Amino acid sequence: MLFDGIIINISIMLTGFYFISKLTTAPLDVNLSLSKKIQVGLCNGLLCFVLMKFAIPTIHYTFIDLRHIPLIIIACYVGPVPTLITAFIISITRLSISFNDTAIFISIIYALMGTTLAFCSHYIQRSLLYRMILFSTISLLFICLGSCFVTQDINKIIKFSLMMSLSSAIGMQFSFMLLKDIKQQKMEMITTVTMPVIKY
């Protein structure tokens, strides 16, 4: 069940990234216009909401999903504006699914996570791989903090953290491969279009 759920989540996420990349003919990066960044943030937030609706049931009625990966990806590629928009949508839509103390706390966790990633996205200008590893680590720390609030059982927290780390690593790898290929295709297309025509 866990493996099937991870496959479904990854499939939804990759499909979402494909359609988000269609919002612009340019590659997804910090050079997008503000209007495009807002569009990307809104669509990315919608993708996170869909991932929440397909949460994966695990042990002891705990659910996991990959909503944090689109947040990480957009922070790595596009910058703080769509990251904040995505985090805001995650927080609001989480409360629409269920409204209780746990939901409120998780919403706050994702708001803080999004703000932290947006800050890091703006100030940390290292390689893409470095940012992905750093942002993934930050996100998992926030998520594990949230699990500590939900349950105080250390064994459940460890199992949940391991499952989340494994599924996150798989999801990040597939996402990185897809977006890398899409960016390469767009760059080749731009080069072809701008290449001067030589007349003989």
What local confidence, expressed as pLDDT, does residue 185 receive? 86
Query: 38 pLDDT exceeds 90?
Result: yes
Residue with tokens 């927290």: 157
Mean pLDDT of the region 11-31: 88
The answer to whether 189 and 168 have CB atoms below 8 angstroms apart is no
Backbone angles phi, psi at 30, to 5 degrees: -70, -10
Mean pLDDT of the region 27-50: 91
What local confidence, expressed as pLDDT, does residue 59 receive? 60
Query: 196 pLDDT exceeds 70?
Result: no
Most confident of 62-71, 130-139, 156-165: 130-139
What local confidence, expressed as pLDDT, does residue 163 receive? 82
What local confidence, expressed as pLDDT, does residue 193 receive? 61
What local confidence, expressed as pLDDT, does residue 60 receive? 56
